Chains A and B, each alone.
Chain A
Amino acid sequence: MDVQQAREDLHRRTLSEIVRPLDRLIYLASMRDYNTGVYHHDGLASRFTEEVACEALADCHREVFHQLVVCPLEDLVDQLEAYRKSTHTGPREFLTAWRRLEPYRVAVPVETDPLGAEFLFSNFKIALAILEARLDSLPAELSA
């Protein structure tokens, strides 16, 4: 029950401000300690407990991961482009970094079904290739 309330609180106060599932995935993954796999959110923990906050964040992370896995490729391409714009990074720089570092691999929740993760990674790969092709088709001064 507490976890449900914490989830609602998280949705109301924070996630409602983050519209795109991709942005939510990156935000929620950033709440997780890479060494322990435990999620931290001071505000949520102060209103509930550390454990409840962690559980609520993990639930929301899994939920948004699922949304991205089943979203159409076209939608994923649009989300990736919108996310790129929100970071104020140049398109070439962004695409190069994402293709080389594949940061989406560390944004996956723990205990994710392997096929779902494999499918999402594959979709990211295609989405990045589409964005790159789109960029290549633009005149040089616009693509910089």
Chain B
Amino acid sequence: MIQLIFFLLVGALLLSSLFFLARRGSRAEGNAQVLVEARQALNALQVGLLPRELVARIFANDDREYVASVAPGPLYELFLSERKKVALSWVNQVHTQVLSLKRFHLGAARFYTRLSLRTEIELAWHFAALLVTCRALQCLVYVAGPFAAPRMVGTTATVAAKVCEISEKSLAFLNPVQFGPVADRSVGL
């Protein structure tokens, strides 16, 4: 009987250690995943979504004026519906990528970077403002079209760029290390 209890205890101990090991492993993997997602989100924002020229062109009023002057009627409607699709896609993608960066800052960032309290508060404010603005912009574009809120588009792009700037610093440790002139130093030795 005592032997049985002993083996059961050893078994339970082994099982619990396996459980804790498995949990620890998955957490590490999860962290890596958050880092990868954050890096991808940052690239998507900086390269694909926020370049000033692209944003200006998607919401360009001169394109609207041009189409209105050369082809009023159904063609103008087609233009508005096409631009609305692209504009909504832009806002949705900015929202998604910002959420991904927010997840990184809420979870993994504190383990890798030491942001000052002031920067953290600033970042929290930017995230809150951005997510609310994105939702408001989505509604506005959906209801009133892509040319209804040029200022809001500008604000979204500017705040998103600031968030990217701070996130870039937080993710700087992922960049390849720039080694100094090793050869020169070894010669000096």
Contacts and interface: CB of A to CB of B under 8 A. Distances in A.
Interface of A: 69-74, 113-116, 118-119, 122, 125-126, 129-130, 133-134
B165 interface: no
Contacts of A74: 62-63, 66
A70 B54 contact: yes
A74 B93 CA distance: 27
11 contacts: A70-B54, A71-B57, A72-B66, A73-B67, A74-B63, A115-B48, A119-B58, A122-B85, A126-B78, A129-B78, A130-B71
A115 B82 contact: no
Contacts of B48: 113-116
B40 interface: no
A73 B86 contact: no
Secondary structure class of chain A's binding surface, majority of residues: helix
Sorting the interface of chain B by its residue count into under 10, 10 to 19, 20 to 34 or 35 or more gives 20 to 34
A119 to B, nearest CB: 5
A129 B93 contact: no
A107 B150 CA distance: 31
Contact of A122 (B47, B49, B83): B83
B47 to A, nearest CB: 6
Nearest to A119: B86
Contacts of A125: 78, 82
A132 to B, nearest CB: 9
A11 to B, nearest CB: 21
A12 to B, nearest CB: 26
A71 B66 CA distance: 13
A72 B63 contact: yes
A133 B86 contact: no
